[in-house]
Amino acid sequence: MTWLITGGAGYIGAHVARAMTEAGERVLALDDLSAGVPARLPAGIALVQGSSLDGELLKRVLAEHAVTGVVHLAARKQVG
């Protein structure tokens, strides 16, 4: 099983990616890097730079990496 984590280079996303990897799961991160930091991701986790709003990108990534599950963490924390 391969997991796609949207917002994967964010603070929470990177922690989830690390925990899932340590549990033996295959993980791929998607992040537009507007707030994410690639260095937060553990070594060995691929990062796709792009938006979770880009349907064509998502279709390609899901197919190319045989993604079978998604953890959606891409969001803005500011309400205003």
Domain of 20, CATH number, reads 3.40.50.720
pTM equals 0.92
With respect to residue 77, please indicate whether it lies within any of the assigned structural domains: no
Tell me the mean pLDDT in the region 24-53.
96
Tokens of 64: 């190319």
Q: Which domain holds residue 14?
A: 2-72
Tell me the mean pLDDT in the region 41-62.
97
Confidence class for position 51, pLDDT limits 50, 70, 90 = very high
Instruction: Give the mean pLDDT of the chain.
Output: 95
With respect to residue 31, please indicate whether it lies within any of the assigned structural domains: yes
With respect to residue 25, please indicate whether it lies within any of the assigned structural domains: yes
Q: How many domains does the chain have?
A: 1
With respect to residue 64, please indicate whether it lies within any of the assigned structural domains: yes
With respect to residue 65, please indicate whether it lies within any of the assigned structural domains: yes
Residue-wise pLDDT for 12-29, tens only, equals 999 999 999 999 999 999
For residue 49, give Cα distances in angstroms to 22, 24, 54, 80.
Answer: 23, 24, 11, 26
With respect to residue 78, please indicate whether it lies within any of the assigned structural domains: no
Please tell me the predicted confidence (pLDDT) of residue 80: 67
Residue 42 is given by DSSP the state P
